[in-house]
Amino acid sequence: MKRERTAIIRLDSTLSLPIRTKTPQNTQTPRILVEEIGGLIRVYKDGHVERPQIVPFVTCTLPLELGVTCKDLVIDTFTNIWARFYVPKSNEKLPLLVYFHGGGFCVGSAAWSCYHEFLALLARKAGCLIMSVNYRLAPENPLPAAYEDGEKALMWVKQQALSGNPNKLWWLKNCDFSNVFLAGDSAGGNIAHNTTLRLCANWGKLKPLIIKGNILIQPFFGGESRTNSEAYMVQPPGSALNLVASDTYWRLSLPKGVNRDHPWCNSGANMSRKLERMTYLPTMVCVSELDILKDRNMEFCGVLRNSGIQVEHVVYKGVGHAFQILDKSQLSQMRTQEMIYHIKAFVNKRNSS
């Protein structure tokens, strides 16, 4: 297998991030396509992966009037994990949201324009400092790589909190490390959940960080048996997620030899770890009414509730999967404002508890 070359593309004045480039195809031996999600990812039999740039990558630039400082920082040079920080102007310490983007574990980036716009707005309106983690992607890095990166990101934050490095005061001085939340949408919501499962037996190792809760937006779960919303929810053309794409993402991201009833995928089947009231986090789940994941999300809320976990959910009417980042309609923008309001209320409630 040919190695991919790495090009260094400068994203801002403080950091150069590695972006993988395509290896020229050998015209004498055409590659055999084995998996494809239209416009997003193509996987070939020899292991080569192509990700067309369907969403623009953007730098840290934000309008001055937004009042949010944005910079990229490397978390781990060996695995090329980095994060984009959003710090709204404030004279007070702010809660920290450690955020994981969506994309079925296989596509997406903290530098995607849609995430950049949404998280900058969320930081300002919810009054939170946001760390958007750019984790490793499948199929090159199948699960649990993304979960490992989630844990590594939190351990990195812990080290920053302990170091108090004056060169990083631009974000450290604004961060309330006793008020930290894990958050994410779609696959990112799944990562936040499974990162919690990896850590909840020993939250003490993250001190001085105190993790207050999970904010899961349309979390990506599945299973071998179809739910009603998976089987019967009619998706419009160009929908962010349909059943064929969902199955493909799981084939590409789960370890070889397991199916969609693996606990990383199916939160209600063969639970590998018992959820305990005193260790798993209070959780907010944001559900979209027209999302094929609607029933999965509601089942997940039931699993938490039956385990004695504090959980609240909100169903956003008339919108589908990932509406808050991909749909610019007036209805979606209104629902996005509602979501930001609900996230702010959840954070404030946990902060006062």
State the catalytic residues.
186, 291, 321
Distance, CA of 184 to CA of 149 (rounded, Å): 14
Coil, strand or helix at 68: strand
Question: HSE (CB half, 13 Å, CA atoms) of 336?
Answer: 22
Is residue 73 within 8 Å of residue 128, measured between CB atoms?
A: no
Convert 252-268 into a string of H (helix), E (strand) and C (coil).
HHCCCCCCCCCCCCCCC
Helix or strand (DSSP H, E) at 15: strand 15-20
| Alpha-carbon distance values, 179 to 129, 153, 211, 231, 352 (Å) | 11, 16, 6, 40, 10
Q: Could you tell me which residues come within 8 angstroms of residue 31 by beta carbon, excluding any fewer than 6 positions away? A: 25, 44, 45, 46, 48
| Residue 307 DSSP one-character state | T
Q: Looking up tokens 């919810």, which residue turns up?
A: 126
